[in-house]
Amino acid sequence: MPLKIKNVDYFDGEKLILKGNIYIKDGIIVGLGKKEKEQPFPTDKEIDGENCLALPGLVNCHTHAGMVYTRGFADDKPLMTWLEDYIWPLEAKLTPDDIYWGSLLAIAEMLASGTTTFTDMYFAMDRVGDAVLESGIRAVLTWGLIGVQENAIANLDKTVDFATNWRGKGNGRITTMLAPHAPYTCPPEFMEEVLERAKRHNLPIHTHLAETKDEIKQIEKDYGKTPIKWALDVGIFEHRTVAAHCVHLKDEDINILAENNVGVAYNPQSNMKLASGIAPITKLIEKGVKVGFGTDGPGSNNSLDMFAELKMGSLLQKVAGENSQNLPAEQVVKMSTSVGAEILGLGSEIGNLQKGKKADIILLNLDKPHLTPLFDPLAHVVYSCRGSDVQTTIVDGKILYDRGEFYTLDVEKIKWEVRERTRHLTK
Amino acid sequence: MPLKIKNVDYFDGEKLILKGNIYIKDGIIVGLGKKEKEQPFPTDKEIDGENCLALPGLVNCHTHAGMVYTRGFADDKPLMTWLEDYIWPLEAKLTPDDIYWGSLLAIAEMLASGTTTFTDMYFAMDRVGDAVLESGIRAVLTWGLIGVQENAIANLDKTVDFATNWRGKGNGRITTMLAPHAPYTCPPEFMEEVLERAKRHNLPIHTHLAETKDEIKQIEKDYGKTPIKWALDVGIFEHRTVAAHCVHLKDEDINILAENNVGVAYNPQSNMKLASGIAPITKLIEKGVKVGFGTDGPGSNNSLDMFAELKMGSLLQKVAGENSQNLPAEQVVKMSTSVGAEILGLGSEIGNLQKGKKADIILLNLDKPHLTPLFDPLAHVVYSCRGSDVQTTIVDGKILYDRGEFYTLDVEKIKWEVRERTRHLTK
């Protein structure tokens, strides 16, 4: 269904274009700019971009969508109480169907707040895949692996099957990675097995690293090194890796991440809410590390709104570094679009509004009191917009959300299912 | 116009009531609760509270509404560059009419995001007063005073006239304070004049204190003491004072604030964005200091959405104090309602949903993907809600905003005026 967005201001990933047109065909941006006034082909639909800013869709580099069931379930608790007494017992009861419905709910929230690609680490990932296929969103799916549990290798092989079978589905909207959970749950011999399969099947690795001080202590005690050095030594950095958190880093850790081209997912709200710490993002970027944004799961945030993440993430770097110039608006927008896409291995497909790229596009309606006046649209994106300012979300050339309407999801049914299932899970 | 909110979950300031009714007459809450099923009088209008949570309206303890003209004007700059090269030159051009229209815009933003009372420190405050009267919002108006400028005493007397003439207007919706700007702009001899008038006319004091490290250094250099000790010594703490920021405090400063019952306005987003620092709010509260939330001006935030402020403020205290239990949700809700009202001297009138209190009430629509499932409504208020979840805003018993409609403001005209005026101001 050919589509035209007309008369729209847009940020193409490098520069701001005023009053241009964007043409989409077969899911691809086939033409755009101020000069593209001639209709290159008949379009089924025109979207009037008046008062809107178009951006590449936001890329969430780390979340656990199925954790919607734990949103607001146990806040303001010490981390281990939260995990051991609340989160893990509830998660142990989740069925694949629960995860399917929970993921649909999370996807609805993400589409309505401008996320077009999310990176998910959870379990029953084939059911998450079903939710991704039905909804039309783009996703990087990773099946979390605990190396210390029984049948760890059998599980690993099962997730390799998932990853190889599911990648490319949905017109390429689904890609996959292997996801060993963390250094404290995956021993080195297990990591070697993961790495062997990652290389054999050309699957990148997604993992948690250096999230809390407790983890640093534990890995120091068990292995006499930092989690980053541990990951280097087990060999996974030979392979493309996306590491979530990276909160507690020594200078040498930062050098290791930079030298090995490890992508980092920055999750400021989760790190703040769980009191994990403040990731040295400004320093990581100075050293050349590529950093994208993640929301982490809705249990520890408690939101999947990337706009809140962007503002919080930028402001946190400013105050922590005592420098109001840290993580300026344009850099934040790039981190949450093109840089995020790049660390997920999708840099050639999405992350920019350029001819030939896949049409993952969001429109923000800027005609609102809280976005008036308008000097620099990118400053508004980071410092003034909320997820609710998203008017339209397009993934792979298809409109999935527009002015409160979901085109592929029955959101009333989804909310009902999640509420009913929550009742069962917590009774 | 008698009004009934029926079948609504609400937080009355102390506890959560499910499926109750709230009756409002002549601007006052005249009955509420589960038992209040009998209609005490005919109502002109019923609001169905299904799927909603009613809260006391949010109280913004510190802002500069007229600074909407500087929203997004000059972000990611060093503080002094921001002020000297951008903000002050633009502010110097502002006419009273500009401030009137800018304040109307800020009020529209505030009403739409659940703020029912704001504390404003700016100039041309009589025009801000006009905006408050027309809009129907509640406000504490304070005319900023620079003690080092020419005609400082004449200006002071002018603002005393403003404060005494305007307090009580709008059925008591307007109250006033005197607002010496800060220790570095108001010498002690000027502060003595302020204090004398504050006492004579029974006007509380609103000021900035201990916002930046530069201020700490400057006051140490000029007076050999901290800004808090300086304020104590000039005598203003003998009188009811609301101090904005209080970021850089010694233990002795905290004791001084507690012993003198000074109210503190916590502005986390502004303090983060300008890289001013992290206020020791958890410690202040432990010592008995009453702390409310403020957004600061839209030039340094760049938003007046209190919900963003609550989440950021809570999360910042957790990560800074390395304790996920810091500033838990219920405490944050109280700080932004009853405690805020109390430090502004309005504790007997607003801040709770109780019989006899003025009817400043907001309704949040919780029937949304990002607010599903629902365990603890107050956790959702702080960690998951956005200002855009406000469905209805009632001040002094009158509906001012409902589902995107402003009942007292021509928001299209206001946006147009602010845009036109911005063009003139920046050309």
Cα–Cα distance measured from residue A116 to residue A114, given in angstroms and rounded to the nearest whole number: 6
Quick one: tokens of B103? 């304040």
* CA distance to partner chain B, nearest, from residue A176 (Å): 26
Average pLDDT over chain A reads 96
Residues of A in contact with B303 (CB under 8 A): 370, 383-384
Q: Minimal Cα distance from A332: which residue of B?
A: B76
Cα–Cα distance measured from residue A259 to residue A376, given in angstroms and rounded to the nearest whole number: 35
pLDDT of residue A212: 96
* CA distance to partner chain B, nearest, from residue A34 (Å): 24
Three-class secondary structure of residue B21 per DSSP: strand
* CA distance to partner chain B, nearest, from residue A419 (Å): 6
Domains B3-56+355-406 and B58-343 share a fold: no
Interface contact A273-B380, CB threshold 8 A? no
CB B359 within 8 A of CB B24: yes
Q: Which of B378, B375, B371, B272 is nearest to B332 (CA)?
A: B378
Query: What is the per-residue pLDDT across B81-103, written as a single tens digit (0 to 9) for each?
Result: 888 999 999 999 999 999 999 99
* CA distance to partner chain B, nearest, from residue A427 (Å): 12
pLDDT of residue A124: 98
Interface contact B373-A71, CB threshold 8 A? yes
The mean per-residue pLDDT over the stretch B286-300 comes to: 97
What's the pTM value of the predicted model, to 2 decimals? 0.98
Give the pLDDT band of residue A37 (cuts 50, 70, 90): low
Residues of A in contact with B370 (CB under 8 A): 109, 112-113, 303-305, 387
Quick one: tokens of B360? 């400043």
* CA distance to partner chain A, nearest, from residue B201 (Å): 36
Domain covering A3-56+355-406, topology: Urease, subunit C; domain 1 (2.30.40)
Q: Return the residue in A324, A381, A390 with the most chain B beta carbons within 10 A, the one to mutate for interface testing.
A: A324
Exposure string of A154-182, with b = 16+ CB inside 10 Å and e = fewer, is ebbeebbebbeebbebbeebbbbbbbbbb
Interface contact B302-A380, CB threshold 8 A? yes
This complex has an ipTM of 0.97
Interface contact A72-B376, CB threshold 8 A? yes
Determine the straight-line distance between the first and last CA of chain A, rounded to whole angstroms.
47
* CA distance to partner chain A, nearest, from residue B370 (Å): 5
Residues of A in contact with B79 (CB under 8 A): 324
CB A124 within 8 A of CB A65: no
Residues of A in contact with B386 (CB under 8 A): 305, 308, 386-388
Residues of A in contact with B272 (CB under 8 A): 315-316, 318-319
The mean per-residue pLDDT over the stretch A163-169 comes to: 98
Quick one: tokens of B375? 């365990």
What architecture (CATH level 2) is domain B58-343? Alpha-Beta Barrel (3.20)
Length of chain A: 427
Give the pLDDT band of residue A172 (cuts 50, 70, 90): very high
Interface contact B302-A275, CB threshold 8 A? no
CB atoms within 10 A of CB B30: 18
Give the pLDDT band of residue B42 (cuts 50, 70, 90): confident
* CA distance to partner chain B, nearest, from residue A297 (Å): 12
Average pLDDT over chain B reads 96
Query: What is the per-residue pLDDT across B272-284, written as a single tens digit (0 to 9) for each?
Result: 999 999 999 999 9
DSSP assignments along B243-266, one per residue: EEE--S--HHHHHHHHHTT-EEEE
Interface contact A77-B387, CB threshold 8 A? no
Query: What is the per-residue pLDDT across A121-150, written as a single tens digit (0 to 9) for each?
Result: 999 999 999 999 999 999 999 999 999 988
Q: Minimal Cα distance from A389: which residue of B?
A: B388
Residues of B in contact with A379 (CB under 8 A): 72, 75-76, 302
Quick one: tokens of B133? 């009267």
Interface contact A328-B269, CB threshold 8 A? no
The residues, ordered by sequence, that sit 6+ positions from A410 with a Cβ below 8 Å of its Cβ are none
Residues of B in contact with A106 (CB under 8 A): 369
The percentage of chain B sitting over the pLDDT mark of 90, rounded to a whole number, equals 94
User: In this complex, which of A275, A389, A418 lies closest to B323 when CB atoms are compared?
Assistant: A275
pLDDT at B426 over 80: yes
Interface contact B308-A374, CB threshold 8 A? no
Q: Return the residue in A68, A75, A424 with the most chain B beta carbons within 10 A, the one to mutate for interface testing.
A: A75
Q: Tell me, what amino acid is at B322?
A: E
Three-class secondary structure of residue B369 per DSSP: helix
Cα-trace Rg, chain A: 21
Q: Helices B96-112 and B125-135 meet at what angle, rounded to 10?
A: 40
Interface contact B415-A321, CB threshold 8 A? no
Q: Return the residue in B82, B271, B315, B420 with the most chain A beta carbons within 10 A, the one to mutate for interface testing.
A: B315
User: In this complex, which of B318, B319, B384 lies closest to A302 when CB atoms are compared?
Assistant: B384
Task: Please work out, in degrees rounded to the nearest 5, the angle formed at the alpha carbon of residue B229 by the alpha carbons of B180 and A320.
Answer: 85
Residues of A in contact with B387 (CB under 8 A): 370, 386
Give the pLDDT band of residue B162 (cuts 50, 70, 90): very high
Interface contact A78-B370, CB threshold 8 A? no
Interface contact B75-A384, CB threshold 8 A? no
Query: What is the per-residue pLDDT across B108-149, written as a single tens digit (0 to 9) for each?
Result: 999 999 999 999 999 999 999 999 999 999 999 999 999 998
Cα–Cα distance measured from residue B166 to residue B176, given in angstroms and rounded to the nearest whole number: 7
Query: What is the per-residue pLDDT across A59-84, written as a single tens digit (0 to 9) for each?
Result: 999 999 999 999 999 999 888 888 89
- Domain coordinates of chain B in residue numbers? 3-56+355-406, 58-343
Interface contact A302-B379, CB threshold 8 A? yes
Interchain CB contacts (distance < 8 Å): A and B: 200
User: In this complex, which of B274, B379, B414 lies closest to A75 when CB atoms are compared?
Assistant: B379
Q: Helices A188-200 and A152-166 meet at what angle, rounded to 10?
A: 20
Residues of A in contact with B312 (CB under 8 A): 311-312, 315
* CA distance to partner chain B, nearest, from residue A344 (Å): 25
Give the pLDDT band of residue A31 (cuts 50, 70, 90): very high
pLDDT of residue A43: 76
Interface contact A324-B105, CB threshold 8 A? no
User: In this complex, which of B272, B367, B418 lies closest to A316 when CB atoms are compared?
Assistant: B272
Cα–Cα distance measured from residue A264 to residue B154, given in angstroms and rounded to the nearest whole number: 58
Q: Which of A281, A234, A282, A298 is nearest to A260 (CA)?
A: A234
* CA distance to partner chain B, nearest, from residue A80 (Å): 11
Q: Which of A204, A240, A211, A236 is nearest to A226 (CA)?
A: A211
CB A101 within 8 A of CB A418: yes
pLDDT of residue A44: 78
User: In this complex, which of B319, B373, B386 lies closest to A69 when CB atoms are compared?
Assistant: B373
Q: Tell me, what amino acid is at B5?
A: I
CB A128 within 8 A of CB A99: yes
CB atoms within 10 A of CB A282: 18
E-state strands within A251-336: 263-266, 291-293
Cα–Cα distance measured from residue B336 to residue B351, given in angstroms and rounded to the nearest whole number: 8
Residues of A in contact with B315 (CB under 8 A): 269, 272-273, 312
Q: Minimal Cα distance from A372: which residue of B?
A: B415
Interface contact B272-A109, CB threshold 8 A? no
The mean per-residue pLDDT over the stretch A300-312 comes to: 97
* CA distance to partner chain A, nearest, from residue B307 (Å): 11
Q: Helices B188-200 and B227-234 meet at what angle, rounded to 10?
A: 50
Interface contact A76-B324, CB threshold 8 A? yes
Q: Tell me, what amino acid is at A287?
A: K
pLDDT of residue A38: 62
Cα–Cα distance measured from residue B161 to residue B176, given in angstroms and rounded to the nearest whole number: 11
Interface contact B384-A105, CB threshold 8 A? no
Cα–Cα distance measured from residue A69 to residue A88, given in angstroms and rounded to the nearest whole number: 12
* CA distance to partner chain B, nearest, from residue A213 (Å): 10
Give the pLDDT band of residue B206 (cuts 50, 70, 90): very high
Give the pLDDT band of residue B231 (cuts 50, 70, 90): very high
Type and span of the H or E element at B361: strand B361-365
pLDDT of residue B275: 96
The mean per-residue pLDDT over the stretch B374-386 comes to: 98
The mean per-residue pLDDT over the stretch A287-297 comes to: 98
Give the pLDDT band of residue B44 (cuts 50, 70, 90): confident
Cα–Cα distance measured from residue B195 to residue B202, given in angstroms and rounded to the nearest whole number: 10
